[in-house]
Structure 1
Amino acid sequence: MKKVMSRKKTKTSFKYLPLEIWTLILARMPGKTLLRFRSVCKPWRSIIDGADFVYLHLQLCNINNNSKNKLFVAFEDLGRLGLNGLEAWLRTIRRADTLRKTGHNLMSPGNDDPLGSCIGPSVNGLILTCELIDFKQELILWNPSIRKSLVIPPCPIPSHLQVETAFVFGFAPSTKEHKIIAITSDETPGTQPRDMFFAVYTLSDQRWTVRNNGLNVERSFFEGIFQSFLYSSDTTFLYGGTVFLHGKVHCLAFDYGNNKLHLVSLDFDLESVTFLEVPDLSDKSRPLRFPFILGESVAIFSISTVKASIWVLELDDGKRVWTPWCSEPSSLDGFGLFMDHILSNGPYYYESDCGGCLIIGKKSYHIASGKVQARGKSMRRNVILETYSESLVLHKGYGAQEVDVFPVN
């Protein structure tokens, strides 16, 4: 009789765990697993579908997403396919340590400009892409882990402007709001200085709002900033790429007025831009420079035919300062690797067993030795990597659609 009561008590206590405990347990599960767990029972479905649970899951994913279990979305060049001969890019989810595939193949129907298909860094498991749909370019937010996408309505660009538009995707931590900031300039001949146009799309409202403050950007500096954000996914020569950290998107931009390179930080909470001059990383050779994330800080990697160096952005008495992290002789192979990938999204830091290295394309660069190592042998042709973390954003409440899946071997 005692044994029966003991078993019954154990079973009952397990079944009736408080929802708070179940929430903490479920929040540590992968996104694809959580979608299956929604069918277990109504309380689990209610937990998983809650808006607060989505951000709790994101927080725990970010804590556990250290360099050794980081994930990438790989854009693999398949060449021109089909009767229309459009460029096709296969998308796979891969582990950072081995670059082995962990997710299903997702293939876009094709883009004339494959580099333009990925706009800036991934944010909370979402990637902003530009897709060719019915022969029309559409902005799309895409979540690979749950295979859902959301078409973004057209940006309300004034009809009198002849413009190019830079779209920057990010997240405002204080309001837990995903935003797309559109920056455009007047291309009308004879317009000097250029007029600026600034609009913000918020995911919760799913609409654009025109802003009038112009990001408080000095006109003399606007050209360099605009070009850096406009070509963030196919970097400008010698420097470029964007990274997202702590509610800000960072990129390098050149101030043609004082002939200086700056780190530009677009704050999604304040919807404003700040600038910080980059230290002199040059030597007798013209270096290539890329921003990247090192731990919880923004860093700049500089490499020439002579040396490779890294500077880290830190806070000192509330002021942002650059601190040298390392400086080593470079190799011709290393410089050639980054020269071949100046049209990529930039390098990603990975802490391997033999020390720190930077991953770019299908190869890695060992910082201390300057050696280049081949990786991802199973991947096709040219490869562009984008950091990625699993999330449930777009799962409920936004009208997102399932993404077509094309298995390609």
Structure 2
Amino acid sequence: MSDNIPFELQAEIIKRVVPVKSLIRFRSVSKQWKSLIDSSEFITRHTLSNKTQPQHLLVSYITGGTGYAFVSTDTCLSEDKYVSIVDDDNFPHHKFSPVVPPTVKLLARPLMLDCSHGLVCLLGYTRDRVNRKKLVVVWNPLIGKSVGIEIPDRAYIVIGFGVCPKTSDVKIVKISRSVNSEAEAPAEVFTLSSGAWRSMPMNKPLKSKSLLFRNTQVVIDGVIYWLTYDNFIDEHRVYSFDLASEEFGEAIDFPYNLAGRFERLYDISKINDSLVVLSHHCFVTNLTPKPFCDVWMVLKNDVRKPYYTKLFTANDVGVNSMIGFRKNGQPVMDRTKTHGCDGGLEVYEPCSGRVNGLGIYGSAFRMTSYKESLLLLNHSDSIIYS
């Protein structure tokens, strides 16, 4: 760009650039451009104002092994492989291997919790047997930057993750896996901007006499959702945490045809910006079990009494084999969960019942969807110790 154009005008033009990859390249034009694009103000503005970034499916898996060993610290374990697939009209032909930063490589077979504003959250243990640490690693797979946050290695805790929709600040929530109404167990919240933890009360969820949180989550529109089970009344519910107000929300009850079914196993996921409940069950025909999965979407007509609509039923789907969804609502299936051997990922078409392979083979698949983002661009790969 000509030196005759004032930098203030250049800055206004750059602010109107949408593609993240273009902005990354523009950082090489001049020191002024790099300083502008790397600034927290620019990154926050771009993150909060831009809703049209391309969507990717990030898949993690291993080869030459079976299953996840979440608590293992064996340094001989092979590193997880990662592949990003652009979720567009050419799906699944545009694949690439994202840059995996050193902090991510420290983890031995981590859990992929979720994604928010282009940041993927991983939870796991470091490989070092002598000085083992439990870490949450927040990673931007598009630009290859990550930040690790040490988690005290206490049993029975659940981690939540998300980006505040008002400030674009990364937040980690830590709560007890088992919560009851006898004592008001506090939650803890970590913000990347402060680099510190602070305690806060858990107000609304403490209405149950025995509530068990699962260490899986979904974050949608700045709200974290957890699937819970109430031992006292034998019911599943969904509890939430608002990342902006930092308040826990009312329980979302399951409808009658989902709640209290002993033969069913449940999970939660998301399709675009909608919460979905996965109801796994099994029929036996001629002494042969046939697994099914009902997919229900939660509509937000009312927080406490939402409207559930059944999208479809997928046949021959084992528990935990439906690992995520494309933006068009088609589920991505891990067939190793059903058939018990190394295999590949497939996309299920609900209307026709057909499956299409993605050309990714291995086991222990996990997946999340993310949109391109500049977050963490101005951070170095590091670990914040508690």
* TM-score interval (norm. to shorter): 0.7 to 0.9
Please say if 1:176 is aligned against 2:168.
yes
Please say if 1:323 is aligned against 2:323.
no
Cα distance in structure 2, aligned partners of 1:325 and 1:196: 35
Quick one: which amino acid aligns to residue 211 of structure 2? E
- Residue 392 of structure 1 deviates from its aligned partner by 1.9
Structure 2 portions without partners, runs of 5+: 67-73, 284-291, 335-344
Alignment map for 1:10-409 (pairs within 5 Å): 18-19=9-10, 21-26=12-17, 28-31=18-21, 33-59=22-48, 63-65=51-53, 69-79=54-64, 84-96=75-87, 97-98=91-92, 100-104=94-98, 106=100, 109=105, 114=109, 117-129=110-122, 130-135=124-129, 136-139=132-135, 140-155=137-152, 163-184=155-176, 196-211=185-200, 213-218=201-206, 220=208, 223-225=211-213, 228=214, 231-232=215-216, 242-274=217-249, 275-282=251-258, 286-305=263-282, 309-316=294-301, 319=303, 321-326=305-310, 328=312, 330=313, 334-339=314-319, 341=321, 346-351=323-328, 356-361=329-334, 362-369=345-352, 371-396=353-378, 398-401=379-382
Provide, for residues 88-136 of structure 1, a one-character-per-residue CA deviation record: whole Å limited to 9, x for no partner. 3112222232164223463865755x2xx13521122222223415332
Quick one: which amino acid aligns to residue 34 of structure 2? R
- Residue 168 of structure 1 deviates from its aligned partner by 1.0
Distance 1:263 1:185, change over 3 A: closer
Quick one: which amino acid aligns to residue 292 of structure 1? S
Provide, for residues 12-45 of structure 1, a one-character-per-residue CA deviation record: whole Å limited to 9, x for no partner. 998878245423333x1224x4233212023422
Partner of 1:3: none
Provide, for residues 73-98 of structure 1, a one-character-per-residue CA deviation record: whole Å limited to 9, x for no partner. 211212469x9532431122222321
Per the alignment, in what secondary structure is the counterpart of residue 312 of structure 1? strand
Cα distance in structure 2, aligned partners of 1:110 and 1:400: 12
- Residue 149 of structure 1 deviates from its aligned partner by 1.9
Q: Is the 8 A contact 2:237 2:253 kept in 1?
A: yes
Cα distance in structure 2, aligned partners of 1:147 and 1:154: 22
Quick one: which amino acid aligns to residue 128 of structure 2? D
> Going by fraction, where is helix more abundant, 1 or 2?
1
Cα distance in structure 2, aligned partners of 1:194 and 1:39: 55
Cα distance in structure 2, aligned partners of 1:148 and 1:296: 25
Per the alignment, in what secondary structure is the counterpart of residue 116 of structure 2? coil
Distance 1:56 1:111, change over 3 A: closer
Please provide the CA RMSD for this pair: 3.7
Distance 1:394 1:138, change over 3 A: farther
Q: Is the 8 A contact 1:148 1:401 kept in 2?
A: no
Partner of 1:405: none
Q: Is the 8 A contact 1:92 1:104 kept in 2?
A: yes
Partner of 2:338: none
Per the alignment, in what secondary structure is the counterpart of residue 380 of structure 1? strand
Distance 1:219 1:182, change over 3 A: same
Q: Is the 8 A contact 1:138 1:151 kept in 2?
A: no
* Percent identity for Structure 1 against Structure 2: 18
> Going by fraction, where is strand more abundant, 1 or 2?
2
Q: Is the 8 A contact 1:262 1:278 kept in 2?
A: yes
Structure 1 portions without partners, runs of 5+: 1-9, 233-241, 403-409
Distance 1:137 1:70, change over 3 A: same
